[in-house]
A and B are shown apart, each in its own frame.
Chain A
Amino acid sequence: MKREHQEAAAGGDRRGGGGGNWYAAAEQEKGKALMGTDDGVDELLAALGYKVRSSDMADVAQKLEQLEMAMGSSAAANDDALLAHLAFDTVHYNPSDLSNWVDNILSELNAPPPLPQPPPPPPADDPLSLQFDLPPAVTEQYTIGTVDLPDGSPCKPADVDELQPEASTASSGWLISQSGHQPEVAKSLRDRKRLKVCSSPPSSTITADAATAAAAQQVVIVDSQEAGIRLVHALMACAEAVQKENLKAAGAIVKQISVLAASQGGAMRKVAGYFAEALARRIYRPQPPRGMGCSSTVESAALDDMLHHHFYESCPYLKFAHFTANQAILEAFAGFRRVHVVDFGMRQGLQWPALLQALALRQGGPPSFRLTGIGPPQPDNSDALQEVGWKLAQLAKTIRVDFRYRGFVAASLADLDPYMLLGPEADGGGVEDDEPEVVAVNSILELHRLLARPGALEKVLGTIRAVRPVIVTVVEQEANHNGRAFLDRFTEALHYYSTMFDSLEGGASPPAAVEVGGHDQAMAEIYLGRQIYNVVACEGAERTERHETLPQWRARMSRTGFDSVPIGSNAFKQASMLLALFSGGEGYRVEENDGCLTLGWHTRPLIATSAWRAAGDPLSTSASCRTASS
């Protein structure tokens, strides 16, 4: 079995070993440390989360020294401004890539702090000059909150919780070099730095290892009461019996589980209930009732959306997803006048009001914004997809953003082709002929479904590449619910959903929504329950909840020719602040993971946002597109 092999390769079983084994391994390690590796990363630092090529070590050390001297002299001169600038204004990316992280700080250091006034207009003969204002990478101006959709839409009314962005007036990433280049150049400098991060991974073997290595099997025990443990034990025993196809024994145990569950309270009881129900279905295999997890019917699409909305309201996971994805999209769109977002799971469009608002507030004015929303077939031929678009159009009108929308019905994302997504407007064959349109593809909890049918994901990723997006934002559940062995999937899912349900109990929704808080939570539990059902009771093409972990997604994206675009500390900070809105929010944790952000409950990440661009595309679609078009 893969895991055992992994363990054996890692240095042998140390159970009952004690001193002798430890020392031998230590000697081996010491030897490795002294020898070092020429081509690869330093293994000792890698074990601590830092990727540094051994051959780069001296160079990184030298840069650290440089920084130290610069900071030392400013400290000696009692000049807090430099330190403040580095600390407050710098946006950090991927601390694991130590070399680039240090480079980034050094370049912030070498550029004088940003001027408080806007830059002078460009000289006419500057090839990089532009006919209109350039907005800086907008981060500090981004406002978080929910926004009213007109006409009493199903969305909740605007929440009073609008977070003020950080007070810093300097725009992060806006470097004005001493030669007075336009911020656009500076921006592409920053992009180049970020691209350096993605296009030269320290070692390709690292990625491969991450893919093949068994993902960490995370357990957070939030309730170590005796009854809870017995309940889990019974669930596991039942699952094991199912795996061994001993259905009689499984049936007997599943009956015990409901008795045990009744004596439990809170999250554990509910989770156990859903798992038991799914197990029972698997054991007895009656026809799944309508609307349940297995076959996604047309009727269930509307129910899905409704439950999804309640899940959105009751806990921060989807808000985090939208926020972090929007942040990456906003940054990627900086400097462009025509932008297009393709949303793989339009639903009620909850993500887009905030992005529209941020674009409206962009310095230099909003771009012209096009949205393509993809959704499943609806019952009664109702056109929910168009309705959402219409409402967003109303909102866009009130905030004066030029907005166009098109909805696409597709039973599967694999049915899409690039021409459908791009449409006639893409070539600029409309009003502004010389203005390229850049595309962002956004996928929130959609890609894993494609794993249910061989080749589907590859097709979709190919379609995405063909559209040549400037950014691809992907959010997925952070778990491996797609292992081949049933028992492994079951165990993983049990740990995952136990933690998820516990967070629903612990982190109630903001006070403004408290009157429907309980309702939201109950609906959110049903939403999650359907996922549990699908993971446990379904198989083949019907098992669509095929969640995989970040390392697995990284490997897939990288194999298909995408490079990671790291999400920075500004998004991290603001996401963390968003969590303060949730009472009981202390248990929620945002973490940075090799350029991606995760949100979890206590130490267990539960959802992950990553951003990508096609590898080998011309360096910075910003700079090169500009040159091409001027």
Chain B
Amino acid sequence: MAGGNEINANESKMAVPLNTWVLISNFKLAYNLLRRPDGTFDRHLAEFLDRKVPANVTPVNGIISFDVLIDRPNNLVARIYRPAPATAAGSIPIFTDLYQPPSSDTFPVIIFFHGGSFAHSSSNSAIYDSLCRRFVSLCDAVVISVNYRRAPEYKYPCAYDDGWAALKWASAEPWLRSGKEGKLRVFLAGDSSGGNIAHHVAVRAAESGIEIAGNILLNSMFGGNRRTESEQRLDGKYFVTIQDRDWYWKAFLPEGADRDHPACNPFGPNGVRLEGLAFPKSLVIVAGLDLVQDWQLAYAEGLKTAGHFVKVVYREQATIGFYLLPNTNHFYEVMEEIKEFVRFNL
């Protein structure tokens, strides 16, 4: 197997810039140390290794961030990112400034669910702080990054419940509304497990009559019992293995459930029908070297079949995590797609 691993390393090394390869390989190594064969997770080591950044109401590139305790019993915190409010020259924004609308025009609110396969990362992880700040610049948006409860300590449906709580919170904040009708123009976005969460929160929103302007799913995490062609072909080749995907699903899904559980496989045998539901438009971004792609494409097909608008952006040569570093065309072109999608559906 050693020879096989060598080939794998070379392949993935050729697919991404060197610093990206180092970053993602570092995560892969760390994550291998954290997942225990018995299904438990070394949470303390995970928190030790994760690189975190503080919130900061001092503008950096014109953007500020602050944390809000949305739900005390669950310790649910979200990090809010927004364009720096207008304040007296040189002074630090104070609470009242933070809650001013960033613009008199309509502006999007993006509720973002970070990735990490339901187990890793936090809203204050450096990689996601960086990404959320980009979204603010990109879309002149207010971004709400939800620090949802993670597996295996908190299984389905905790992450979805936290996403829902964040949406309810945002709906109740007057300063997040804009435009003539003074309404919340909210997008749900996420990468990896975050994309999965975005979908399920959108379903609940649609069922509850809350209007979502659009869903943005970046390399989102779906699956099912059967092994798809892409899973078999790409297993272990580009940082991800079927084995680790299985571990994370087992950690997130209820005891005894399999991967055809609707959380994992929304258009599978146990899925909920979405026909006739006011489900938002979706932008589904798929990386061609991601072994989960068949599930992501099947998801997009499922949406189409149910009569919902979906735009698929397929980046043939992209691997997982391409959106973490601004050093490829994948990054810039996908960011443009996101920007256009938000602008168009605002």
Contacts and interface: CB of A to CB of B under 8 A. Distances in A.
Interface in B310-346: 324-327, 332, 335, 339
B75 A60 contact: no
A201 B219 CA distance: 36
Contact of B19 (A6, A57, A64): A57
A219 B84 contact: no
A224 interface: yes
Given A25-B61, A233-B94, A48 B66 contact: no
Interface string A591-607: 11000000000111100
A57 B325 CA distance: 15
B167 to A, nearest CB: 16
A48 B45 contact: no
A61 B84 CA distance: 38
B98 interface: yes
Contacts of A102: 26, 29
Given A68-B9, A218-B55, A60 B68 contact: no
Interface string A225-266: 000010011001000000000000000000000000000000
Given A1-B90, A76-B1, A602-B67, A221 B22 contact: no
Interface string A337-354: 000000000000000000
Contact of B26 (A50, A229, A586): A50
A76 to B, nearest CB: 4
B179 interface: no
Contacts of A14: 61-63, 83, 137
Contacts of B59: 7, 13
Contacts of A7: 58-62
Interface string B59-79: 111110011110010010101
Interface in B1-39: 1-2, 4-6, 9, 13, 17-19, 21-23, 25-26, 28-30, 32-34, 36-37
B56 A218 contact: yes
A65 interface: yes
Contacts of B68: 220-221, 224
B326 A96 contact: no
A603 B19 contact: no
Given A95-B48, A233-B96, A221 B69 contact: yes
A65 B335 CA distance: 30
Contact of A44 (B19, B56, B60, B75): B19
B126 interface: yes
A223 B90 CA distance: 26
B57 interface: yes
A95 B326 contact: no
Contact of B57 (A48, A217, A224): A217
A61 B22 contact: yes
Interface stretch (A175-183, A363-371, A521-529, A572-580): A572-580
A76 B4 CA distance: 11
Contacts of A4: 89-90
A604 B67 contact: yes
Contact of A16 (B6, B33, B54, B103): B103
Interface in B87-109: 89-92, 94-96, 98-99, 103
A488 interface: yes
A86 B29 CA distance: 11
A67 B67 contact: no
A33 B325 contact: yes
B339 A19 contact: yes
Contacts of B4: 72
Interface in A550-584: 569, 572-573, 576-577
Contact of A3 (B32, B47, B90, B124): B90
The secondary structure that dominates the A interface is helix
Contacts of B34: 87
A68 B29 contact: yes
B130 interface: yes
Which of A19, A220, A221, A229 has the most CB atoms of chain B within a 10 A radius of its CB? A221
B49 interface: yes
Interface in A37-53: 42, 44-45, 47-50, 52
B169 to A, nearest CB: 9
A37 to B, nearest CB: 11
Contacts of A17: 62, 137, 140
B6 A87 contact: no
Contact of B5 (A57, A69, A569, A603): A69
Contacts of A167: none
A384 B59 CA distance: 49
Contacts of A50: 23, 26, 51
B53 interface: yes
A15 B94 contact: no
Contact of B67 (A1, A33, A220, A573): A220
Contacts of B30: 95
A306 B80 CA distance: 40
B99 A69 contact: no
Which of B32, B37, B86, B335 has the most CB atoms of chain A within a 10 A radius of its CB? B32
A206 B84 CA distance: 26
Given A14-B61, A22-B138, A83 B56 contact: no
B51 A95 contact: yes
B127 interface: yes
Contacts of B147: 603
Contacts of A86: 33
A611 interface: no
B237 interface: no
Contacts of B77: 220, 602-603
A29 B44 contact: no
Given A95-B51, A221-B69, A603 B25 contact: no
Contacts of A75: 1
B42 interface: yes
Given A3-B58, A57-B22, A572-B44, A603 B124 contact: yes
B49 A45 contact: no
A170 to B, nearest CB: 16
Contact of B37 (A12, A25, A44, A80): A80
Contacts of A361: none
B162 to A, nearest CB: 14
Given A7-B59, A33-B325, A49 B54 contact: no
A86 B1 CA distance: 20
Contacts of A48: 23, 51, 126-127, 130, 324-325
Contacts of B58: 3, 6-7, 214, 216-217
Contacts of A95: 30, 48-49, 51
A160 interface: no
Contacts of B52: 49, 591, 603
B56 A216 contact: yes
Nearest 8 A/B pairs, CB to CB: A49-B51, A14-B62, A76-B1, A72-B5, A216-B56, A1-B90, A33-B327, A573-B44
21 contacts: A26-B332, A30-B332, A33-B19, A33-B326, A34-B327, A48-B126, A49-B126, A61-B18, A64-B26, A65-B25, A73-B2, A83-B33, A218-B67, A219-B98, A222-B72, A233-B95, A573-B45, A576-B44, A592-B49, A602-B75, A603-B124
Given A25-B61, A61-B25, A69-B2, 6 more contacts: A3-B90, A13-B84, A14-B137, A16-B83, A45-B23, A68-B5
Interface of A: 1, 3-4, 6-7, 10-19, 21-22, 25-26, 29-30, 33-34, 42, 44-45, 47-50, 52, 57-58, 60-61, 64-65, 67-69, 71-73, 75-76, 80, 83, 86-87, 92, 95-96, 98, 102, 105, 214, 216-224, 229, 232-233, 236, 487-488, 491, 506, 569, 572-573, 576-577, 586-587, 589-592, 602-605
Interface of B: 1-2, 4-6, 9, 13, 17-19, 21-23, 25-26, 28-30, 32-34, 36-37, 42, 44-45, 47-49, 51-63, 66-69, 72, 75, 77, 79, 83-84, 86, 89-92, 94-96, 98-99, 103, 123-124, 126-127, 130, 137-138, 140, 147, 324-327, 332, 335, 339
